[in-house]
Amino acid sequence: MTQPTRFKLFSILAYFLAVAGLIWLLMNKCLISANPIRIAVQVLCAALMVWARITFGLRSFHATANTTKGELVTNGPYRWWRHPIYASVTYFVWVGAVSFLLPVAFAAAALVTAGLVARMLTEEKFLKTAYHEYEGYMKRTFRLVPFVF
């Protein structure tokens, strides 16, 4: 199996891991907070996702985390986050998990996070190959949490 094929397979498995965690949170009714402040935070997370998707444009979504055609997007939320869509999902699920304080919620949120971090790492391998300026972009942006990680 070639290295790109391994990366694609790894990315698909990571995607399904994140989806499984989301389904687990939904089935245990631990995804959407009932606390008004936490709901507001989750709404902001959803807004970040929409902003990132609009900024990204009409490019397609690849389940394999492969790159799309076009220029590297570095404006909008991509100015601070390399992966604002994954960041928004991660924040959203952790707000839900913290709202319920159940071991099952924390386990599911950890599953989502693990899947998304694996996707981010895989995407970055593709992006480094596709865009020569990606290395510089990585140095000035954060993967998941601005000013931290």
Mean pLDDT score of the chain = 90
d(CA 19, CA 14): 9
User: How confident is the model at residue 112, as a pLDDT?
Assistant: 98
d(CA 84, CA 91): 10
pLDDT band at residue 8 using 50, 70 and 90 as cut-offs: confident
d(CA 90, CA 139): 22
- For residue 81, the 8-state DSSP code is B
Higher pLDDT, 67 or 47: 47
Radius of gyration of the chain (CA): 16
Please, which contacts does 68-75 make with residues 24 or more away whose CB atoms are closer than 8 Å? 72/127, 72/131, 72/133, 72/134, 72/137, 74/137, 74/141
- Whether pLDDT at 40 is above 90: yes
User: How confident is the model at residue 4, as a pLDDT?
Assistant: 73
Quote the tokens at residue 45. 């997370």
Q: How far is CA 146 from the centre of its chain?
A: 14
- Reported as a single tens digit per residue, the pLDDT across 93-117 is 999 999 999 999 999 999 999 999 9
Q: How far is CA 10 from the centre of its chain?
A: 15
pLDDT band at residue 69 using 50, 70 and 90 as cut-offs: confident
User: How confident is the model at residue 149, as a pLDDT?
Assistant: 62
- Reported as a single tens digit per residue, the pLDDT across 13-38 is 999 999 999 999 999 999 999 999 99
46 burial level (CB within 10 Å; 0-12, 13-18, 19+): middle
Query: Residue 36: in which H helix or E strand, if any?
Result: helix 36-56
Residues above pLDDT 70, as percent of the chain = 91
